[in-house]
Amino acid sequence: MNLAAAVSSFLVVLPAELPDKTVLACLVMGSRGRPGYVFAGAGAAFAVHVVLAVVAGSLLGLLPHRPVEVFVGVLFIAGAVILWRQRRDDGDEFAVGQEARNRFLPVAAMAFAVVFVAEFGDLTQIVTAALAVRYHDPLAVGIGSVLALWLAAGLAIIAGRSLLRVVPMVWVTRAAALLMLALAGTSLAAAAA
């Protein structure tokens, strides 16, 4: 396993996910349902998405090197532009009936469903696929990415409101965009070589 690929994946996916609507949904779900139950459902959905992304990235890795590097570079640039222009949307809602808030299955299932639907084709899923192509190590990329997603969800569920008082969301978003631009540059340089 390539430790650099795992660490790079973690460092790229975490700031990309922090300003995402899914993390805000986790914050809301964590305030309305038991945090551990919300995390179980959200964590399972993130794991499924990472598996899908690394499989897609691994399949892309079978294509010729130069066009794939250009494609990956363009994906990173698109991700950076999307993050840079992103606005915070506070309209995400999560509702579980009063009687179901303390039961595992309804809370975890709702969290799984919300995250699973919200993350399909999401920026971090695309970035994870691109990282799998770049590093040719789906296991390392998958581990780094899923740990980043779990940390983002955990932070949102447990301490999200406190984090946003200390670190403005715009800083987190801009840092993720700059990291993606750097990765785009390395991918495009590799394609030119």
Angle at 27 between CA 43 and CA 40, to 5 degrees: 20
Least confident of 7-16, 65-74, 141-150: 65-74
pLDDT band at 94 (very low <50, low <70, confident <90, very high): very low
Residue 182 lies in a domain: no
Q: Give me the percent of the chain exceeding a pLDDT of 70.
A: 76
Tokens read off for 53: 């992304």
Domain that holds residue 26: 3-64+88-170
Residue 183 lies in a domain: no
**Model confidence pLDDT, tens digit, residues 111-130:** 898 888 777 777 888 889 88
Residue 136 lies in a domain: yes
Residue 73 lies in a domain: no
Residue 74 lies in a domain: no
Residue 76 lies in a domain: no
Flag whether pLDDT at 100 surpasses 60: no
**Model confidence pLDDT, tens digit, residues 128-180:** 988 988 898 999 999 999 999 999 999 888 865 565 567 676 776 676 677 66
pTM: 0.68
Residue 166 lies in a domain: yes
CB atoms < 10 A from the CB of 65, how many?
12
Number of domains composing the chain = 1
Residue 16 lies in a domain: yes
Burial label for 148, CB within 10 Å (0-12, 13-18, 19+), is: buried
